[in-house]
Chain A
């Protein structure tokens, strides 16, 4: 088991910078996720850890060992590729045994360990199958077993579930977590799926355009995003531009010019992200935090609007409320029966609870 320490990593392909000045420490035994939209440099970073790319700048350390230019075969990492990369000419057994054979493990030992790991991924009965005869989920598990059997210091997974259908994805998610906990391996998991990231990880690093935006636990990332990109990318949110009006110690007053309304926010680090002097500010509020009432109340941050659309998804009901021609809010409530649904065209009052608002700086482009 190892910790991974990336310091000031930059990776350029020609003129194009795929990863920029990345600092990151992944602790021993941690389930760490790289999350971000496609093309943001997640795979590149993972491949730098695996040794397939050497960084243009910066250092890679496993524990205290400098691994920056060590070749991939000497790193003892176990990688699961997006397309699984199973050896098509080998059986399940041969695939899983490959890494052990390379390590010159004795035959009986190989057999024992391969059978062991295949048992863990529920593939024991397929041990002599050709890998092409397996289903997608089964292939996925062979790839996982092949990476686990060598007892790697670090397990690397690159969007391992993206080729599976939804149901199988849920199943494999739990499977991977179970195995990771069982083996206690330091794991780096790459995904662009936020649900996957939030539900599996100990910590998440959110990437955008080659830059790491935020590192934190799932709840930190969701509840206290550091900027509007993170707020928008993780989960759903309502975002609009605001300006700081008055600066009191207890409550800050913001103003939205389009709505011509004041918005009050508690002045705590939970509500206000770190900002620079001249940052443009935006406020973010999650749909589930919005309070929709049919009758007017004199609470602060209450705005009148009109129901534009009601969307029923089963467990939840989304209500889209038009505040003016430019701004439409989305409010989400758990399904509490037909009597609670609003009607389209209805006049309503929305309250943005001041302890649920997050003020974030806008990412500079």
Chain B
């Protein structure tokens, strides 16, 4: 008993230190800052936030909520029907189309937004093409403002609905529906009375997820809507304007919203839901036999595929446009591999890629080790305050990236014991630290999933055969959970490479990552190079996802 307790405590010490130092303490510093004005304790910041003086803040909060609700709605309207069509009907090309349907997830948000700008923005290719095709005087439409944000959100977030509903549909025992039909229910009745209630947990989970992600959305309002006022962006502007106290206050308010959602989601998922013990033998799909309907579906599938892949294609094409060859012309005129060649020849171009790869690697190494230990402690050890630790670990996942960035700024713009008495802000290491903090939950979650599958008796068997704890951990536990740890880490790597909001708050000249360089290139109207950087990110992500699917059997839906 005592030896067991000692081991648990030994495990917990580093976990608690890291979480306290890099999650709790920064949040606490932000909280303190929000109650300060010119060094004096005051509620003034909150009064300013909610008061009539700066209604910009309240408006931003309102906009955030309103955009998030609409994003949930639109994502559901696209994702749920798609899930139904692809999982319940069989028609030519079905499995191919359903693979294409999740392609938006390989676009990091900044890159996705950039592609939408190229396509539908003010000088967008699509509006101009329509104008030229139909000989119009003016472009028929351009994308911007709220509608722009919503379109990007719907495009990038509907996969959450698509994937959760698909997997829920596959788990619905089709004999239930058959039983209802057998009892005399018609098709619509079966849907409303049987299928829909069984899907509710998936729908709620996806809605919460999309809501949280839209609340945190940064790139879309930042680039596409010319700084449209949403809370995550307001934090950035307050910080740029040097008003750290207001930035802190806004962060606290956004944190409260996000953490409430985290707690609500935990509660919802821990609730006993009425999933069946028996799994269906996979939903059986009805074959669409009527030729007209069949070919209509195929046509719709092809059109949808074109729309879905247009951003990817645009990036690929524009990445071939060399600098200075596309200025006043409506369409690019020259294509070559210049941008990719420069990558290897111009250190200025190569540096961001190297920075991104290196920083993501360091952060993920940290996540790998820390996530593994934390997950093990959470799943396999008993101790008081486990629930609290569990919540603490998930907080960086729930907090918007902007808030994580702000917290780190406010904690490490002064010497602290957790930074070994150094000021970290403005140094190289603040960004890897931010990536590390932000992506711990990904590794913990995916490791938890495998560890929960591993029976306790496996460890006991090793111990019974004479193995000490460390030996057991190395030789038995680690090999078993490795797929989970690795897939979490790879996902963290993917996200770290694409990470924009914390990067834009924390980067320096020395460590500017790809995302920042994309922004710089866009500012200089060097669209080709920006697209080339985007392609590099997409390529990395595609490779990592492919590897983790091929070698660790990680399905993309588990990565959400």
Within 8 A of B (CB), among A44-89: 50, 52, 54, 69, 71-74, 76-79, 81-83, 85-89
Let me know if A192 is at the binding interface, CB within 8 A.
no
Residue B479 at the chain A interface, CB threshold 8 Å = yes
Return the contact of A83 from the options B3, B457, B467 (Cβ within 8 A).
B457
Tell which of B138-146, B177-185, B458-466 binds the partner: B458-466
Residues on A with C-beta less than 8 A from B466 are 73-74, 76, 99, 102-103, 150
The answer to whether A81 touches B460, judged by C-beta atoms less than 8 angstroms apart, is: yes
What B residues does A240 contact at CB under 8 A? Answer: none
Check if A83 sits within 8 Å of B455, measured CB to CB: yes
Cβ contact within 8 Å between A98 and B462: yes
Give the secondary structure class of A's interface. loop
Task: List B contacts of A146 (CB < 8 A).
Answer: 461, 465
Q: Which chain A residue has the least Cβ–Cβ distance from B456?
A: A85
B1, A54: Cβ atoms under 8 Å? yes
- B461 neighbours in A (Cβ, 8 Å): 79, 81, 85-87, 146
Q: Indicate which residue in B458, B464, B480 contacts A72 across the interface (CB closer than 8 Å).
A: B464
> Is B468 in the interface zone, CB < 8 Å from A?
yes
Q: How far is the CA of A92 from the CA of B462 in the complex (A)?
A: 15
Shortest distance between the CB of A60 and any CB in chain B (Å)? 14
**Interface digits, A186-214 against B, CB 8 Å rule (1 contact, 0 not)?**
00000000000000000000000000000
Most buried by B among A76, A98, A99: A98
Contacts A54-B1, A85-B457, A102-B471; A73 near B479 (Cβ below 8 A): no
A contact residues around B458 at 8 Å (CB) = 85, 87-88
Interface assignment of B259: CB less than 8 Å from any CB of chain A:
no
When distances are taken between beta carbons in the complex, the residues of chain B under 8 Å from A89 are 479-480
Residue of B nearest to A87 (CB): B476
* Bound CA–CA A88/B468 (angstroms): 19
List of B residues within 8 angstroms of A83 by Cβ: 455, 457
Once the chains bind, are B455 and A73 in contact (CB under 8 Å)? no
Given known contacts A54-B1, A71-B3, A102-B471, is B457 in contact with A81 (CB within 8 Å)?
A: yes
A77 to B465, CA, bound (A): 7
Instruction: Give 1 or 0 for each of B440-480: 1 = CB within 8 Å of chain A CB.
Output: 00000000000000010110111111111001000110011
Q: Name the interface residues of A322-362: CB closer than 8 Å to any CB of B.
A: none
Query: Which of the listed residues A72, A78, A83, A147 has the most CB atoms from chain B within 10 Å of its own CB?
Result: A72
Known: A81-B457, A89-B480. Contact between A150 and B465, CB under 8 A?
Answer: yes
A88 touches B464 (CB 8 A): no
Quote the shortest CB–CB distance from A147 to chain B (angstroms). 8
In the bound complex, CA of A99 to CA of B471 (Å):
11
- Chain A residues near B465 (CB-CB < 8 A): 73, 78, 98-99, 102, 146-147, 150
Partner of B464, one of A69, A78, A82: A78
CA distance A69 to B3 in the complex (A): 10
Chain A residue nearest to B475 (CB atoms) is A98
DSSP majority for the B interface? helix
Q: How many residues in B have their beta carbons less than 8 Å from beta carbons of A?
A: 19
CB distance from A46 to the nearest CB of B (A): 11
Q: Which residues of B sit under 8 angstroms from A77, Cβ to Cβ?
A: 464
| In the bound complex, CA of A73 to CA of B460 (Å) | 9
Q: How far is the CA of A150 from the CA of B471 in the complex (A)?
A: 17
Counting chain B CB atoms within 10 Å of each CB, which of A102, A103, A146 scores highest?
A: A102
Which residues of A87-103 are within 8 A (CB) of B? 87-89, 98-99, 102-103
A99-B464 Cα distance, complex, nearest whole Å? 9
Q: Are A102 and B467 in contact (CB under 8 A)?
A: yes
Once the chains bind, are A73 and B464 in contact (CB under 8 Å)?
yes
Smallest Cβ-Cβ distance to B460: which chain A residue? A52
User: Residue of A at shortest CB range from B458?
Assistant: A85
What residues on B are CB-neighbors of A73 within 8 Å?
463-468
A160 CB → nearest B CB, Å? 12
Near B by CB (< 8 A), chain A positions 15-67 give 50, 52, 54
Partner of B463, one of A54, A72, A103: A72
A79 contacts across to B, CB distance below 8 A: 460-461, 464
* Distance of A146 Cα from B471 Cα, bound (Å): 17
> In the complex, A86 Cα to B467 Cα: how many Å?
15
B464–A87 touching, CB < 8 Å: no
A96 to chain B, nearest CB (A): 10
What 1/0 flags go to A134-154 for Cβ under 8 Å of B?
A: 000000000000110010000
Which chain A residue lies CB-closest to B465? A99
Which of B1, B457, B460, B461 has the most chain A CB within a 10 Å cutoff? B461
Give the residue name and chain of the A residue nearest to B1 (CB).
A54
In the assembled complex, the CB of B459 is this many whole angstroms from the nearest CB of chain A, namely: 9
Q: Which residues in A have their C-beta under 8 angstroms from that of B455?
A: 83, 85
The CA-CA distance from A52 to B460 in the complex, in Å, is 8
A86: chain B residues at CB < 8 Å are: 461
- Alpha-carbon distance A52/B461, docked complex (angstroms): 10
B462 proximity list for chain A (CB < 8 A): 87, 98
CA of A71 to CA of B460 in the docked complex: distance in angstroms? 11
9 contacts between A and B (CB under 8 A): A50-B460, A54-B1, A71-B3, A81-B461, A85-B455, A85-B460, A87-B480, A102-B466, A150-B466
What are the 9 tightest A-B residue pairs by CB atom distance, in nearest-first order?
A: A99-B465, A85-B457, A85-B461, A102-B466, A79-B464, A89-B479, A81-B457, A102-B467, A72-B463
